[in-house]
Amino acid sequence: MSTPAARVEAAMAAAPRADFLPSPARPFAGLDEPLVLTGGQTCSQPSTVRAMLLLLEVSVGDRVLDVGSGSGWTTALLAALVGPTGRVDGVEVRADLARWGGANVAAAGWRRARVHRAIDVLGWPEQAPYDRILVSADAPRVPGGLVAQLREGGRLVLPVRGTMTVVERRGGRAVVVARTGRYVFVPLVTGE
């Protein structure tokens, strides 16, 4: 049985960052820094994504929601982690990024993963509940709307006011189980 770190490294090898970047940024895919996508949006640096995936603790067969999927890279990484029996729904509020990210995921052959455009709702409630939710945008607080989309015992990882936060749903409510590290992300559009 492989370790969680080994599983995350295998996912990163299976879904190379360069495949999810605009052509001008591809030569810089190996750098451990955020890279510009479009319109002020970025593809997070690999060490940040790695840390978030480790905190998320994705298992084979999980149903995962990827909020702020951007280029589709994190959606593809999550698809590698859930394997052929899992499912990943990526959501993005920007129509151009949702189309491009979805095309990237499809071109890379991740059939159990889709990127959707979120309109007037946070997340993708029509496919809830999820085992895991990853958020790649900074929230002012833990969004109740996302906690509602978690199954009981499910886990949510997101930056809250710059601090990476791990939340589990217990007894129908959010319980913060860890806060670790300071990060800079674009603001989360919550509608809450």
Note the pLDDT tens digit of each residue in 38-81.
Answer: 777 888 999 999 999 999 999 999 999 999 999 999 999 999 99
Q: Terminal CA-to-CA distance of the chain, rounded, Å?
A: 41
Instruction: Select which of 44, 69, 71, 136 is catalytic.
Output: 44
Whole-number Å distance between alpha carbons of 122 and 115: 14
Count other C-beta atoms under 10 Å from residue 176's C-beta: 12
Q: What is the pLDDT, as a whole number, of residue 76?
A: 98
- DSSP assignment, residue 148? T
State whether residue 59 is helix, strand or coil: coil
Spatial distance between the Cα atoms of 52 and 33, rounded to a whole number of angstroms: 15
Question: Using the 8-state DSSP alphabet, how is residue 136 labeled?
Answer: -
With pLDDT > 90 as the criterion, what percentage of the chain qualifies?
77
87-92/63-67 β-pairing: parallel
Active site residue 136: no
